Amino acid sequence: MRSRSISSHHKGYLQAIDDNEVMKIARQADVLLWLKTQPGEYLILGSPLALIYPEEHHSPALVKKINQALIFGKERTEQQDIAFPIEQLVEIALRAISPAVNDPFTAIRCIDRLGAGFSQLVQRDWPSPYRYDKFQQLRVIAEPIALEYLLDRAFSPIRQYAQSDSAVTMRLLESIALIALHTKTPKQKRLLRHHTEMILRGSQQGLSEECDRADVGQRYQQVLQALNSENSFSPELKQL
> Does the pLDDT at position 181 exceed 50?
yes
Per-residue pLDDT of 52-96, as tens digits, reads 999 999 999 999 999 999 999 999 999 899 999 999 999 999 999
* Cα-based angle 52, 50, 76 (whole degrees, multiple of 5): 160
Kind plus residue range of the DSSP H or E element containing 5: strand 4-7
> Does the pLDDT at position 221 exceed 60?
yes
Q: What is the pTM of this model?
A: 0.88
Which residues 6+ apart lie within 8 Å of 195 measured at CB? 151, 152, 155, 156, 159, 176
- State in words which class domain 4-73 has: alpha beta
Find, among 181, 196, 175, the residue nearest to 86 by Cα: 175
> Does the pLDDT at position 22 exceed 70?
yes
Distance between alpha carbon 50 and the CA centroid of its chain, in Å?
Answer: 21
32 and 53 in contact (C-beta within 8 Å)? yes
Per-domain residue ranges for the chain? 4-73, 83-126+145-238
Neighbours of 109 (CB within 10 A): 16
pLDDT at 231: 55
